[in-house]
Amino acid sequence: MHFSLLAAFVLLGAKVTAAVVTGSSAIYSDAAESVVHFLAVCFAVWALRLVHKPADETHHFGHDKVSFLSAGFEGAMISAAAMLIFYEAIRQMIFGVEIENLGFGVMVTAMAACINLVLGLALLGLGKRSGSPLLRANGMHVLTDVWSSVAVLVALGLYQSTGWVWWDPLAAMLAALNIVRVGYRLIRESLGGLLDESDPEIEKRIRSLLDIEAGKRGLSYHNLRHRHSGRTHWVEFHLVFDDAQTVGLAHEAATEIEASVAALLHPDGRVISHLEPKSAEDLEESWEER
């Protein structure tokens, strides 16, 4: 993330310079997106530090939900950048376009695209492996910068070959549409995380494991709940035992099942089970109803 911040700062300076030198609205759109990206990465670096802060007396479940907040902030910021890009493109279509020093603009944009492609893929891969929505969001944002740069290069290439200046603002608009799409996706995922939206694939894996672990012990389970708070998977369920089972043996079996589920969600699984006698299986406590 610190490397991402450094790259964002350097490329921001390069793109703003290229936009001023060339007067291209497509390069301006790329630079505007980079301004927003730099601010979003600053927020993300702060959020990543907070994510790894341990639970304390006022935050019993840790601080990792801030990663969803960071992803939503990043999505909102790039959506705002898209609005700025639309505005600038329409303004240039109305008042005219003048493009100068084309070679310099192409060189800077191509360099930025290559750097961001490597960085974005690295962040996205690391985010998927670690299950971090914050890193995935930053990786997706960096890759939108790549697509913006590609749109700029295509527009400048078409302008150079045809002489039709309107390729420039049209490319800026297309880049803005793509940025809005990614921004919406990030905001949607952020809201899902903040509202504890369940992951169907994770639930399928947990249920499959519980079917095996409970089945081989002659037990049943119900009231499975799970959520992902940004870094940690939280799981809870009820295990149903025979009324004659001792508390000690029931606790031992429950602990073994909890350990299996935690191992499935390694390294950040947190599992809690509730022990019930079979005679109370159908008595649902009102405060636990879904």
Tens-digit pLDDT profile for residues 68-113: 888 888 888 878 878 877 887 787 778 766 666 677 878 888 898 8
Pick from 195, 185, 243, 193: which is nearest to 219 by CA?
243
Distances 138 to 78, 83, 169, 177 between C-alpha atoms, Å = 11, 20, 26, 19
- What CATH class does 200-288 carry? alpha beta
User: Quick one: tokens of 145?
Assistant: 């910068």
> Is pLDDT at 151 greater than 90 in this prediction?
no
Residue range 2-15, pLDDT digits in tens: 888 998 899 888 88
Phi, psi of 226 (to 5 degrees): -155, 155
Task: Tell me the whole-structure pTM to 2 decimals.
Answer: 0.74
Q: What is the DSSP letter of 53?
A: S
Length reported for the chain: 290
> Is pLDDT at 16 greater than 60 in this prediction?
yes
Report the percentage of the chain scoring pLDDT > 70. 95
The b/e string for 177-195 (b: 16+ C-beta within 10 A; e otherwise) is eebbebbeebbebbebbee
Residue range 237-249, pLDDT digits in tens: 999 999 999 999 9
CATH of 2-194, one of 1.10.630.10, 2.60.40.2140, 1.20.1510.10, 3.30.70.20: 1.20.1510.10
> Is pLDDT at 290 greater than 60 in this prediction?
no
Report the percentage of the chain scoring pLDDT > 90. 30
- Please give the pLDDT value at position 117: 92
User: Do the beta carbons of residue 171 and residue 153 sit within 8 Å?
Assistant: no
Instruction: Enumerate the domain spans of the chain.
Output: 2-194, 200-288
Spatial distance between the Cα atoms of 46 and 114, rounded to a whole number of angstroms: 26
Q: Residue ranges of the alpha helices (H) in 52-166?
A: 66-95, 102-130, 133-162
Residue range 164-205, pLDDT digits in tens: 777 777 877 887 888 888 889 889 989 998 999 888 999 999
Residue-averaged pLDDT of the chain: 86
Cβ neighbour number for residue 247 with a 10 Å cutoff:
9
